[in-house]
A and B are shown apart, each in its own frame.
Chain A
Amino acid sequence: MILSQIPVTELVNYCAKLTPEQADSLRGQVFLQDSYFNPIQDIEDNWIISAQEVAYCANPEFLWIKDLPMIPFVPKPAPPLFGGEA
């Protein structure tokens, strides 16, 4: 599945899967004016970027991300609240 096959209302539930090398190449780069890529790892340690970064990317250098495979987004579990609740 690629981005164009996902309904707009479902975009938040999907992400684009990257190789580690692709993640390195995107980290800190501009995908739209004043907006920067932020690759993260999902629950299975896949490197991913959000569907929004793919959809809004207008940097000619990175338009290849439009063809990345889209997968359901499953986040890593969040750590507990810092300092607990005491």
Chain B
Amino acid sequence: MSVRSARYNLLLLRNPKGLTVIPEERDAWAFLDAAGIKSSRQQRAVIDLVRGLKNAQLWSKMKAIYPFVGGTATTHKFNLKDARDADAAYRLQFNGGYTHSSNGILPNGSNGYASTFLNENTSMTLNDQHMSIYSRTDSDSGILRCDMGVLKEGDRESSIFPKYNNVFYPRIHATNSGIANTTNSLGYFISNRKSSTEIRAFQNNSLKQITNASVSKSDGIVYISAHSFSNSGNNNTPFFYSNRQLAFATIGDGLTDTDATNLYNIVQRFQTSLGRQV
């Protein structure tokens, strides 16, 4: 009997009602096995996360989900949506200085970033995209720090700058002037677009609406903890290194307001179950 089968059977035994395990939980076990996560608390949190995303019809809207569970680069690199250890599965590659812990990934703000290997131009749809990050660090200091982003010169960008001079910049397929909103960079930030005319972004389930015309996707790789930039002299060069600790991140299709609320609630419950909510 394989380890995976043994765990699957164990889950059956743990089921308090003695019912058949929901088949969708196999996605959670695929991730847990790939990452080698043995902690029952972390296993339960991931299973509950997958169950919540599927019940809320969010699972199919995701291209990449990074739960940052397990405390090492090896456990943090896996994409919950596709747990293969391959660039094509959008498995992360950590570069430069990071500190990995049970609270997530902490870049050093000078040369640490993670490549998703996800090219926005080929993997995403214009006017139908979101990016999200869960930040456990409150930082600004008037320094541009990006927690997820991509731009090729001549195209338009998609990014999350949670707080720069007290402004949140949520960008998808365009630039915009940002939202003077924020007193801190803590919690769950979503850059989101479902139309060609507006961005509907969120900080901790608070809607930030901007009238903003989309222009184009970027032919580049999405980075986490930095912003990739490409032109004639740069090929996905990282800029705007972040020093914020992240405990979750996603890339996927555009979200309705209801989707965003559901996602916030699911992610906050996930963080609370791991004792790292902010």
Could you tell me which A residues sit within 8 Å of B by CB distance?
Answer: 12, 15, 32-40, 48-53, 73, 75, 78-79, 81-86
How far, in whole Å, are A52 and B113 apart by their CA atoms in the complex?
13
Contact, CB under 8 Å: B175 / A86: yes
- Contact-residue size bin, chain B (C-beta under 8 Å from the other chain): 35 or more
Contact, CB under 8 Å: A12 / B108: yes
Known: A34-B73, A79-B239. A85 touches B98 (CB 8 A): no
Contact, CB under 8 Å: B77 / A34: yes
Contact, CB under 8 Å: B143 / A52: no
Instruction: Find B110's partner among A15, A35, A82 (CB 8 Å cutoff).
Output: A15
How far, in whole Å, are A49 and B95 apart by their CA atoms in the complex?
11
Q: Which 3 A-B pairs have the closest CB atoms?
A: A83-B175, A50-B97, A52-B97
Known: A35-B94, A38-B95, A53-B97. A82 touches B111 (CB 8 A): no
28 A-B residue pairs with CB within 8 Å: A12-B110, A15-B110, A32-B73, A33-B72, A34-B77, A34-B94, A35-B73, A35-B94, A35-B95, A36-B93, A36-B96, A39-B111, A48-B111, A49-B96, A50-B108, A50-B111, A50-B112, A52-B96, A52-B112, A53-B96, A53-B97, A78-B144, A78-B240, A79-B239, A82-B157, A82-B229, A83-B175, A84-B175
Contacts of A48 in B (CB 8 A): 111
What's the minimum C-beta distance from B100 to chain A, rounded to whole angstroms?
Answer: 8
